[in-house]
Amino acid sequence: MTHAPRAAADAQADGYDRGAEELSTESAAAACARGGGAERLAGGTMIRVLVAEDMRILRDTLVSVLNLEEDIEVVAQVAAGEDIVPAAVAEHPDLAVVDIDLPGVDGLTAAAELHERLPACRVVILTVLGRPGLLRRALAAHVSGFLVKDAPADDLIHALRRVAAGERVIDPQVALAALETAGSPLSPREADVLRRFAAGADPADIAAELFLSYGTVRNYLASAVTKLGGRNRTDAVRIATEAGWL
């Protein structure tokens, strides 16, 4: 008779131990889910992201939005183009989300350098104006994504996952515009002269570099302005650059 109460007490204690163990397991799982580590994805891995955006409020917002996703973690953020490669080499992100218009080294130049230094890091370019010429330059820089900044956040996040999976994602409207844009009207020599002018060389310098007469260089520049429909040389440079012809 004396053993029944003890057995009941042992059973009750057993129940408490099992309940405590289950509670501990549930708490550990919840803590893991809150922790931000790769463990919270069943059979998956985290997408490590570098964000490059010079405007602080936009950068902070983008970082916050991305960090809300269970499978995305921002591991570095920079405000200037020259800081992208050093940060990427230090953190080894899977993706770099890069604003095209960064101070110092622009986003496309930084993307090309990043591809050379760390080819495993895929680049997604963000731009305010999705011009076909910029897309051509971006593709030449080996970027894996090209999106406009006014795209919904869900579209960006979906695009990042696709790029991380090995796909290339291009804004469809920009891609269509690039297909519809005709080729360059400039001859190779006109493009070369205009490119040198855009880099800051004056006609006399260009003439010396290319072993041409000063008058010939001026004629090439005038022809380029006419063919591009520009108001002047500077406007011709703008038109050719936006179209990706320089």
CATH number of the domain that 56 lies in?
A: 3.40.50.2300
Whether residue 28 has pLDDT greater than 80 = no
118 phi and psi, to 5 degrees?
-140, 70
CA distance 233 to 177: 25
Do 136 and 178 form a contact (C-beta atoms < 8 A)? Answer: yes
For residues 73 and 152, membership in a common domain is answered with yes
The answer to whether position 30 is within a domain reads no
Whether residue 113 has pLDDT greater than 70 = yes
For residues 137 and 235, membership in a common domain is answered with no
For residues 58 and 124, membership in a common domain is answered with yes
For residue 159, what pLDDT band results from cuts at 50, 70 and 90? very high
Give the pLDDT mean for 78-82: 96
For residues 50 and 158, membership in a common domain is answered with yes
Strands 72-78 and 169-170 turn out to be unpaired
Q: What is the total count of domains within the chain?
A: 2
Whether residue 156 has pLDDT greater than 80 = yes
The answer to whether position 20 is within a domain reads no
Strands 47-52 and 145-148 turn out to be unpaired
The answer to whether position 195 is within a domain reads yes
For residue 134, what pLDDT band results from cuts at 50, 70 and 90? confident
For residues 196 and 154, membership in a common domain is answered with no
The answer to whether position 11 is within a domain reads no
Share above pLDDT 90 across residues of the chain, in percent, rounded to a whole number? 59
For residues 174 and 213, membership in a common domain is answered with no
For residue 145, what pLDDT band results from cuts at 50, 70 and 90? very high
For residues 224 and 195, membership in a common domain is answered with yes
Stated length of the chain: 246
In 3D space, the residue among 129, 240, 136, 122 whose CA is nearest the CA of residue 192 turns out to be 240
In 3D space, the residue among 136, 138, 50, 65 whose CA is nearest the CA of residue 100 turns out to be 138
The answer to whether position 174 is within a domain reads yes
For residues 164 and 209, membership in a common domain is answered with no
Whether residue 53 has pLDDT greater than 50 = yes
For residues 78 and 169, membership in a common domain is answered with yes
Supply the pLDDT for residue 102. 92
For residues 238 and 138, membership in a common domain is answered with no
For residue 209, what pLDDT band results from cuts at 50, 70 and 90? very high
Residue 175 token pair:
């891609």
Do 59 and 79 form a contact (C-beta atoms < 8 A)? Answer: yes
The answer to whether position 13 is within a domain reads no
Do 141 and 116 form a contact (C-beta atoms < 8 A)? Answer: no
Do 123 and 114 form a contact (C-beta atoms < 8 A)? Answer: yes
Supply the pLDDT for residue 119. 95
Give the pLDDT mean for 200-217: 96
Whether residue 67 has pLDDT greater than 90 = yes
Q: Sign (positive/negative) of CA torsion 210, 216, 219, 223? A: negative
SS3 annotation, 180-237: HCCCCCCCHHHHHHHHHHHCCCCHHHHHHHHCCCHHHHHHHHHHHHHHHCCCCHHHHH
For residues 87 and 151, membership in a common domain is answered with yes
pTM comes to: 0.64
Domain stops at, among 163, 180, 197: 180
CA distance 118 to 241: 27
Whether residue 34 has pLDDT greater than 50 = no
Q: Which range scores top for mean pLDDT: 22-26, 88-92, 137-141? A: 88-92
Domain stops at, among 127, 154, 180: 180
The answer to whether position 34 is within a domain reads no
Supply the pLDDT for residue 177. 74
Residue-number span of the structural domain to which 214 is assigned: 188-242
For residues 174 and 151, membership in a common domain is answered with yes
Domain stops at, among 146, 180, 214: 180
The answer to whether position 80 is within a domain reads yes
For residue 231, what pLDDT band results from cuts at 50, 70 and 90? confident
CA distance 148 to 201: 33
Q: Where are the beta strands (DSSP E) in the chain?
A: 47-52, 72-78, 95-99, 122-127, 145-148, 169-170
CATH of the domain at 197: 1.10.10.10
